[in-house]
Amino acid sequence: MIKVNGLKSCDTCKKALKWLEVEGLEHAFRDVRADVVTLSEVKRWGTAVGWDRLVNKASTTWRGLSDAEKEAATGSGAAQLLVDNPTLIKRPVFEMGDAVIVGFKADQQAALKAG
């Protein structure tokens, strides 16, 4: 089963969920704002895909951070920032066993199909 972590209001997450349905891929959705992510989860994701990939620097939340907060958003400092501000997590975050996939473009779709 594919675990999908995102925001229920996120258009990309909505597209991903619809695509998973059409493809017949078993999945479960988790809204990271309502069901808060843990520090260990975020650290695992960041280690798997890299912090630059996981932190959504295009978000409104990112633009509202101080320069000091932005500078701290690397390595383990990024993990706590993402737990405190889940809208900074690039979406969606897919989990398949130990594999972590972030985003929903052609490459990510191919990886999801491949399992």
Which CATH number do you get for residue 79? Answer: 3.40.30.10
Q: Which band of pLDDT confidence, cut at 50, 70 and 90, is reported for residue 115?
A: confident
28-33 mean pLDDT: 98
Could you give the count of Cα atoms lying within 13 Å of 70 in the half-sphere of its Cβ?
12
What is the residue type of 91?
A: R
Domain residue limits at 108: 2-114
Q: Are 92 and 12 in contact (CB under 8 A)?
A: yes
pLDDT, tens digit, 9 for 90 and up, residues 62-108: 999 999 999 888 877 899 999 999 999 999 999 999 999 999 999 99
- Residues identified as active-site: 10
Domain count across the chain? 1
